Structures are given as structure tokens and as C-alpha cells.
Amino acid sequence: MKKSILEQVLLDLQKERIIISFKDISRFPDIVQKYLQYSITEGQEAIFYAKLLHGGEFRTSPTQPWFSIKGFYHYLTYEPAFYWKGVIKPLPILAISAKDFYFRGKGEMKVKLNSVIPIVKASGPEMDEASLMRYISEAPLFPSVFLTADFFSWEEIDDTSAKIIIKDSGVKAEGIFTFNDKGEVVKYESERARDTKEGPIITKWTGYFKDYQNYEGFRIPTYFIAEWNLPEGDFQYVKFKVTSIKFNKL
């Protein structure tokens, strides 16, 4: 799937570039307008492709210690799509690799031991929706997509939050973004399929965004925390730190 996404990037490189304009920004809820004007600059080239490298920590249960993780992403914005690969090395001779993607209505996650032994393979309608939801939750990393894409719609909730809906290839996902006084996205809440021994269970999920920095004229969060909101308590399982991000360059 990585190959298919990169092939699409080559095709997108040949398209006419979109220049960011705020002339139709009034169609968004007020708080989303504030966010867009904070995170992007009118007159610059919109993002159609992003490549991101990250470090951070990961764990699979509340009782497990945190393990270091390194990974990379490829994101498209002319259509909602991403490919991610991360690697954890709990021991010098042991590596756990995970791959996740969403592309044209299909989402899938694979986890392998030492890149050979399958541990997890999740696919199907629940995974399609969960992967598309992941795309929404990470879109603040390439914020011009909120202004230029036609697959998003918004509904105002109050002065600090708005509901976002995404539809693609028959798959739909939605959630709620919360913003601070500056206009930064600070939280995303949704429900998504959580893989368990009993099968996928729809569970509340929350992501937190911190440490905004300017990359190539875009203000983006560089630290991300994700947690499952379980009946017995919140379970943080991901802490990602952006180490590099490039826009519109292979």
C-alpha cells in the first residue's frame, strides 16, 4: 500500500497547485475559522503531501512499561489517505513492527515480530472506519487540508469545539475537536474500534495535541498523546513526538 500511495504522490505532483485563500472561510464555524487563520497563511501553497518522522513511546496495556518507538508517515490530502510504519525494540534482538494505512475506502493494520511472525492483522468495516478516523485525528499535522478538502464537513458545538465529519468511498467517520484561546487544536474525541480478544469493541478514544511549532509556514502540533477511555479508567498508550516533517516533497 505504501507503493500505491507514493505512486499517487507522483501523480499529484503534476497537478496545478492550490494557493490558500480565506475568501470562503465564513462557511466554517467561528472557532474553526480562528484555527485556520492561526495554523496556515493565506497566499502560500496548500499541502497535498506530507512526510513525517517521529519518535516517542508506546505500550499495549496499562500494566506494561513504556517502550521507545520510531516511525514514519506518508499523508495525502487531495484524497484522505495515509501509510504509517512504526518499530518498537523491547530487546536488542527483538523488534515489533506495525503498519497501518487507509486508502480509498480500505483500512488495515498489521503487526509482526521481527518483521516475519504475524501477531495482529485487523481489517474489515470496523478497521476501515477506525483508520479513516485516525486520518482525521492527525490532520492538524497538515492543516491546510481542512480548508481545501471537500470530504470534510463541520458542525458548530460551542465557542471552543466543533464536530467534524469525513466521508470517503462509502466510509464515514466523525469526532469533536476542541480548541484553546489561541485557536490551537488541543483535543480530539471520537469512538473507534478497539481490538480485543473478544473482537473489535467500539470504545471512546481521545487524542491530545501540544507544543505547536512553525514548519514551512504552517503551525502544527509536535507532540501527540492518545488514550482509550475505558470504564475502569483512561489508558494512555501512545506518546508521539514529531522529529521531522516535509510538505509537497518526496
DSSP annotation string for 16-72: PPPBP--TTGGGS-HHHHHHHHHH--TTSBPPSEEEEEEEEEE-SSTTSPPEEEEEE
pLDDT one-digit tens code per residue, 127-180:
999 999 999 999 999 999 999 999 999 999 999 999 999 999 999 999 999 999
Residue-level pLDDT at 108 = 94
% of the chain with per-residue pLDDT over 70: 100
Q: Where are the domains of the chain?
A: 19-61+73-81+124-247
pLDDT, one tens digit per residue, over 21-40 is 999 999 999 999 999 999 99
Q: What is the pLDDT of residues 72-126, one digit of tens each?
A: 999 999 999 999 999 998 877 889 999 999 999 999 999 998 887 888 888 999 9
Mean pLDDT of 180-198: 91
Residues in the chain: 250
- CA–CA distances in Å: residue 214 to residues 38, 222, 246, 250: 11, 10, 12, 20
pLDDT band at 67 (very low <50, low <70, confident <90, very high): very high
Which value, in Å, is the radius of gyration of the alpha carbons in the chain?
Answer: 18
> What are the φ/ψ torsions at residue 183 (nearest 5 degrees)?
105, 5
Mean pLDDT, the chain, integer: 95
pTM of the model: 0.95
User: Looking at residue 169, what is its pLDDT?
Assistant: 97
pLDDT of residue 198: 77
Write out pLDDT tens, residues 219-241.
999 999 999 999 999 999 999 99
Query: Which DSSP string do the residues of 92-146 spell out, in sequence order?
Result: TTEEEEEEEEEETTEEEEEEEETTTEEEEEEESHHHHHHHHHHHHHHGGGSTTHH
